[in-house]
Amino acid sequence: MNKRDKSSLQKRNGLEPADYYTDPKTGFMVFTEVYHRKRGYCCKSGCRHCPYGFLKNDQS
C-alpha cells in the first residue's frame, strides 16, 4: 500500500496512524489495540491485537 492509498483509506474510514500498521511480511493492514478499543467491541475474527481476549482457536 503506497502513501496515497493510505491517506485515502484514512480519510474514508476515519483511521489515524495509531489505528493500524502494515505487516512487513504479509503486506496486510493490521489493526492495533488502540483501534479495537475505539471501535468498542470484539468482531470475533481472531485479530492479532484483540484487547477483548478473544482467541479464534478456542472456539468450537
Bridge partners of 21, per DSSP, are 30
7: CB partners within 8 A, 6+ apart? none
What pTM does this model have? 0.69
Task: State CA 38 to chain mean position distance.
Answer: 11
Asked if 30 and 21 touch (Cβ cutoff 8 Å), the reply is yes
Which pLDDT belongs to residue 22? 94
When comparing pLDDT for 22 and 3, which is higher?
A: 22
Only one residue has cell 483509506, namely: 9
Which pLDDT belongs to residue 32? 97
10-59 per-position pLDDT tens digit: 666 788 999 999 999 999 999 999 999 999 999 999 999 999 998 877 66
Measure the CA–CA gap between 32 and 38, rounded to whole angstroms: 10
| Domain range list for the chain | 3-58
Query: How far is it between the farthest Cα atoms of the chain?
Result: 41
